[in-house]
């Protein structure tokens, strides 16, 4: 704070305190659920659990992981997240590359149509009828194809592509590169920060996807993890886990908390590996264009 006025120092201190309190407020529910997932059923029912587990045990996790339906749903969510994100990035990059050329005929009309979908989304019933007519009901493709391109992510990628020097692209074409080779060899390697940012957006959306699964999936063996979590919390199917596991320390609430942690941790583990790209890509995508 050297060189700062008293007002600036006061604002900086207030800002730090406010952000710390806000962070604690946002982090507390997760810590409470995490502590409850490692606590005994009696401790949870008596309200003795805060952010530290009481009567530490893993009975809740054993009850969850012993359920084959959870593993099946976990695999479904992993498939949707990985395959869906790859398709998202491929189609978004292809469309953004074409629209990044200002001389493209009809470019303005296409971008207006894209922006229109950000403001006015398709109603639920027409969307359902379209998916049904395409024969995608009760298939995992119904959770991937309808959301193949996000208008918001497309705009970010267009802005990023427009920041790449045109002289570099022209030089590649002079050397004999076609459009696809230029995209693959030049544009995409330079766009790793943007791709990492948008890929994280897509991956989180797929992993947390819930509403589409409710609409399009009726077969239990195709339920993603978030829909299985809904069954545990809303339909109280955690009781079946308690009976199946035959453990003594687990509880209904503890099993729900353990399932929430299992559903949340995998996507949280991805972020640290792409954090530097994520921050850089978010900044560049917001100021270029």
The residue ranges of every structural domain in the chain are 6-287
Rounded to whole angstroms, how far apart are CA atoms 238 and 64?
Answer: 9
CB within 8 Å of 64: residues ≥ 6 apart: 70, 241, 255, 258, 259, 262
Alpha carbon of residue 139 to chain centroid = 20
- pLDDT at residue 249 greater than cutoff 70: no
- pLDDT at residue 239 greater than cutoff 80: no
- Count CA atoms closer than 13 A to 28's CA, side-chain side: 8
pLDDT band (50, 70, 90) for residue 289: very low
- For residue 142, the model assigns a pLDDT of 92
Residue with tokens 């692209």: 169
Residue 230 dihedral angles phi and psi, to the nearest 5°? -60, -40
- For residue 196, the model assigns a pLDDT of 83
- pLDDT at residue 288 greater than cutoff 60: no
CB within 8 Å of 263: residues ≥ 6 apart: 225, 226, 229
Q: Which residue has the higher pLDDT, 237 or 224?
A: 224
pLDDT band (50, 70, 90) for residue 259: confident
Residue 79 near residue 71, CB atoms below 8 Å? no
Rounded to whole angstroms, how far apart are CA atoms 257 and 216?
Answer: 27
pLDDT in tens, 16-62: 899 999 988 888 888 888 888 888 878 888 788 888 888 888 888 88
- For residue 2, the model assigns a pLDDT of 62
Residue with tokens 């900086």: 12
How is residue 162 written in tokens?
Answer: 């427009």
CATH homologous superfamily of 6-287: MetI-like (1.10.3720.10)
Residue 138 near residue 224, CB atoms below 8 Å? no
Share of the chain above pLDDT 90, in %: 17
């Amino acid at each position: 704070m050297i060189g700062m006025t008293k007002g600036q120092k006061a604002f900086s201190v207030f800002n730090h305190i406010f952000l710390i309190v806000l962070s604690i407020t946002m982090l507390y529910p997760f810590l409470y659920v995490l502590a409850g997932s490692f606590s005994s059923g009696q401790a949870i029912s008596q309200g003795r659990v805060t952010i530290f587990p009481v009567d530490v045990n893993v009975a809740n996790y054993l009850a969850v992981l012993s359920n084959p339906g959870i593993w099946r749903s976990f695999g479904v969510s992993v498939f949707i997240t990985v395959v869906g994100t790859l398709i998202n990035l491929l189609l978004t990059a292809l469309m953004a590359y074409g629209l990044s050329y200002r001389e493209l005929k009809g470019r303005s009309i296409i971008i207006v149509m894209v922006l229109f979908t950000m403001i006015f989304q398709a109603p639920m019933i027409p969307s359902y009828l379209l998916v049904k007519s395409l024969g995608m009901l009760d298939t995992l493709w119904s959770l991937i194809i309808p959301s193949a391109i996000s208008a918001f992510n497309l705009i970010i990628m267009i802005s990023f592509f427009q920041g790449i020097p045109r002289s570099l692209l022209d030089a590649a074409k002079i050397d004999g590169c076609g459009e696809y080779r230029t995209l693959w060899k030049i544009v995409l390697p330079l766009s790793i920060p943007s791709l990492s940012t948008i890929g994280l957006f897509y991956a989180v959306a797929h992993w947390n996807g819930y509403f589409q699964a409710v609409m399009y999936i009726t077969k239990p063996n195709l339920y993603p993890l978030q829909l299985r979590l809904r069954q545990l919390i809303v339909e109280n199917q955690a009781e079946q886990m308690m009976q199946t596991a035959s453990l003594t320390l687990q509880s209904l609430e503890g099993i729900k908390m353990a399932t929430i942690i299992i559903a949340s941790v995998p996507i949280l583990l991805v972020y640290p590996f792409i954090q530097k790209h994520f921050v850089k890509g978010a900044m560049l995508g917001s100021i270029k264009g």
